[in-house]
Amino acid sequence: MLLMGDPLPWFNGNLLTGQPFSLQKLGGRFVVMFFLGALRDAKSRRIIDYINQSELWKSQALAPVFISCDRRDSLWSTSTELDDHLFCVADFDGNMSARMGATDGEFDPVSQQPLSYRRFCVVSDPFLRVLHLISLADPDACVSTLESLLKAEVQAKTKQEKIALSAPILLLPRVLESRLRFGLSASHQGQEQAAKMILTGLRFRTRDAVDREFPVRDEHLREQIKKILAKRVFNEMNKCFHFKVTHLEHVVTEKCSEHNPVIRQRDNTTSANAHRQFGLIANISEDGTAPLGVSFPEFGNLLYQIEPGAVLVYSSSLLYTPVVEEPNSAMMLRLYMFDEHGAHVKRRFHQHIGAEFV
């Protein structure tokens, strides 16, 4: 059973439309989760219809999520016009509802519906911690209470944003020299051109098909990166985070622009990447007028500018988004770091899937 101040359990699943859904990617907003059991009955429809039409709920500061355990809701969702700001989540096995305290997880073998279901609403803050728990017994009273609470919370958040709230990150200037940045950019452009030639031969539309992310394959470049990071970054990480880096992985170069923005993401939310403990983003642009920014939505709207040659280190558990302002395009180096404990986690996962640990 959830209590005030508790963190919401993270959840990966699908929307009723079949699209993937990750609760943890909604950080930075007030998430309002409605545990309705079924979305088609009169009480549920009254809540959904009101929120679908309300201007308040279209705010980027709010994320309404409706949880369904009824498989018949899939057909209903395809025939109902709902705005994109509403998330209707399929919880047909009852896993999410059980973790949140809405059901005990027991289902009727014939109807495949939960034997008992507690209809309520959970409001969480931008850190995905429980703010309010509200009964859904009376839909009108619930919506009225929610509107009053959320207006007050959004106003309070707006006032708080005037006070700079810093994300727990490490931003270091003058780490990568221009010569190394030039080598990394040239390596990326060479791989990009090779990919375009291959795709052109296959008669693909290269503009859409070329991946903007390429691994750093040049061993000399990789060794240079490791030496510089060990000297100029890892010691600072040990001072700030008491963390000793022993492994690097996924060393890639990437082109980031306003035309191909990177979506909100966390770096260690699955079994395959749970070993990642810290991430690093470096601006390897040769042009000094191409700053790269990174925002951490859970900590407000502050944009951390990474000048060419600088690096930003962050916890892999944080929600973040790289940002490039028009009309610039920035080149960045990305990689992940972990220690011996992370290596043990990765090794166990590889043993589980029967793969060789690298």
Write phi, then psi, for 280 (nearest 5 degrees): -135, 135
Q: What is the pLDDT, as a whole number, of residue 352? A: 82
What pLDDT is stored for residue 356 in this prediction?
Answer: 64
pLDDT at site 254: 84
What residues contact residue 346 under an 8 Å CB cut-off, 6+ apart? 275, 338, 357
Question: What is the rounded distance in angstroms from the CA atom of residue 307 to the CA atom of residue 310?
Answer: 5
pLDDT given for residue 75 in this prediction: 77
What is the DSSP track for 324-343? --TT-EEEEEEEEEE-HHHH
pLDDT at 346: 93
Return the sign of the alpha-carbon dihedral for residues 18, 10, 353, 346: positive
Sorted by where each begins, the domain ranges of the chain are 12-160, 170-353
Q: Architecture of domain 170-353 in CATH?
A: Sandwich (2.60)
The answer to whether the bond into 261 is cis (omega within 30° of 0) is no
Which pLDDT score is estimated for 259?
52
- DSSP letters spanning 255-269: EEETTSPPPPB-S--
Burial of 122 (0-12, 13-18, 19+ CB in 10 A): buried
For domain 12-160, which CATH number applies: 3.90.1860.10, 3.10.100.10, 3.40.30.10, 3.30.360.10?
Answer: 3.40.30.10
Q: Which pLDDT belongs to residue 208?
A: 43
Measure the CA–CA gap between 343 and 238, rounded to whole angstroms. Answer: 18
Series of mean pLDDT values for 10-residue runs along the chain (358 residues): 87 90 91 92 90 87 92 75 82 89 77 79 93 90 90 79 78 92 83 59 44 79 92 94 94 73 81 94 79 88 90 96 70 91 93 73
pLDDT confidence of residue 353: 83
Within its chain, how far is the Cα of 239 from the centroid? Answer: 27
Tell me the H-state helices in 202-250.
206-209, 219-232, 234-241
> pTM for the full model?
0.77
Please tell me the distance from the alpha carbon of residue 212 to that of residue 339, in angstroms, as a whole number. 28
- Tokens standing for 197? 């030639």
